[in-house]
Amino acid sequence: MGRLFGTDGVRGVANADLTAELALGLSVAAAHVLAEAGTFEGHRPTAVVGRDPRASGEFLEAAVVAGLASAGVDVMRVGVLPTPAVAHLTGALGADLGVMLSASHNAMPDNGIKFFARGGHKLADELEDRIEAVYEQHRTGAPWDRPTGAGVGRVADYTEGFDQYVAHLLSVLPNRLDGLKIVLDEAHGAAAGVSPAAFERAGAQVVTIGATPDGLNINDGCGSTHLDLLKAAVIEHGADFGIAHDGDADRCLAVDHTGAEVDGDQILAVLALAMREAGTLRGATVVATVMSNLGFTLAMEREGLKLVQTAVGDRYVLEAMKEHGYALGGEQSGHVIVLDHATTGDGTLTGLLLAARVAATGRSLAELAGVMERLPQVLVNVKDVDKSRVKTSAELGAAVADAERRLGHTGRVLLRPSGTEPLVRVMVEAADLEQARAIAGELADVVKSALG
């Protein structure tokens, strides 16, 4: 059996890869592993369980709740809320465990299970490995040790979670948003309720699109992976800017008043300067991944800020932030982590902080995002090659060195083996788009010949 846990929990096609039996079994295994680790020692354990609006989340939630309660864990069911809301409530309510059912930006047929440890932090890799091992052990025949009588877990709906999370978001805003007109694209996802409520209570005039989830339309042609609807709505309504979330609202992308996209790198740059001004950017440092645009790197250098770069994935950004105590990090895709106020990427919080900066400065989002020039970035996926030889091929190494020499200081080359598919990603940045395309094409050909 391949590893169940990926970089963001367990994910797959609901009722095919991710079945009710798997959800129940993993939940029981998680309860047993956390009990063995001493997490529950001395008290009756509790868990917070939330989900996005996918239809499959209804039966998967039932399976997770049944598994936890059967293992003696009391469950607070918070219903449809964003992933960062479930993480926040896990910490705020003093729960021993949090569970979120979502496949984030994936299409509707998929779903996923993500566990949070006490405090709302991502479960450690070694605990995920142990949960998987215990699940597999009992799946193949070993009986569970189950409580009976008063020892079984109790289940209750925690309806205060919505207002509690919105109040948390508003409590960290440095200023109100009065006078701003903002379009919010909720991707028919988990933030369809809380995000408009938070922006409106902060004083903004809000226009919503993608805010009528029916269980089947999540991420369907809308949200942070499909920005065309948002761009059109911003222009149609004469809004100051627009904000787009993904299905579980841990991402935030934006569109300025002209309809131009403002990506995660640009949002990071705007927030970095705001936090430096407020004295909250610890170490004058921002954490980002190696996929960040070279324009972001150059902008941080020009502003006198340090940039720490990690492998691709918000988990690696978070690890670096926690290890060194940095306050701000994120990805080009819109995962932005403000560690003083969230334990994971929080799209609603990011959007609110971005809006607060616009309101406080009186400058447009387009002007603020202009702190960095986004250099042309070309990405080519080369399929059916031996990705394990990317670093050892002399032919490929020579081709990369030649490309880097031709690009000089105004460009960059990155070759990255896919973590899930038999392909190599070739990324080239340059001041000139045609040069980036040409060099990316040349390198893709070398990858095929050298690794094919």
Residues within the annotated binding site for Mg(2+)? 104, 246, 248, 250
Taken in order 95, 330, 281, 181, is the CA torsion positive or negative?
A: negative
Based on the number of CB atoms within 10 Å of its own CB, is 322 exposed (0-12), middle (13-18) or buried (19 or more)?
Answer: middle
- DSSP per residue over 234-254, as a string? HHHHT-SEEEE--TTS-B-EE
Of the candidates 17, 196, 24, 1, the one whose C-alpha atom is nearest the C-alpha of residue 103 is 17
Which residues neighbour 296 within 8 Å (Cβ) at sequence distance 6 or greater?
265, 266, 268, 269, 288, 307, 372, 374
Give the DSSP H or E segment for 25.
helix 20-36
Residues 401 and 27: their CA atoms lie apart, in Å, by 49
Q: Which residues are annotated as a binding site?
A: 104, 246, 248, 250
Distances (CA, A) of 386 to 59, 424, 451: 40, 8, 5
Of the candidates 436, 389, 430, 434, the one whose C-alpha atom is nearest the C-alpha of residue 411 is 430
Please say whether the beta carbons of 243 and 183 come within 8 A: yes
Which residues neighbour 423 within 8 Å (Cβ) at sequence distance 6 or greater?
381, 382, 383, 384, 385, 387, 417
Distances (CA, A) of 304 to 75, 145, 252, 410: 48, 58, 26, 19
Alpha helices in 50-193 (DSSP H): 56-70, 83-92, 125-139, 161-171
Of the candidates 153, 115, 109, 111, the one whose C-alpha atom is nearest the C-alpha of residue 132 is 115
Strands of 74-80's sheet in order across: 10-13, 110-117, 97-101, 46-51, 74-80, 155-157
Residues 430 and 295: their CA atoms lie apart, in Å, by 10
Residues 239 and 283: their CA atoms lie apart, in Å, by 36
- 70 classed as catalytic: no
Which residues neighbour 171 within 8 Å (Cβ) at sequence distance 6 or greater?
none
Residues 245 and 227: their CA atoms lie apart, in Å, by 10
Spot the catalytic one: 104, 224, 292, 393: 104
Alpha helices in 362-416 (DSSP H): 365-369, 394-407
In terms of phi and psi (left: phi > 0; alpha: psi -120 to 50; beta: otherwise), the region of 145 is: beta
The residues annotated with a catalytic role in the active site are 104
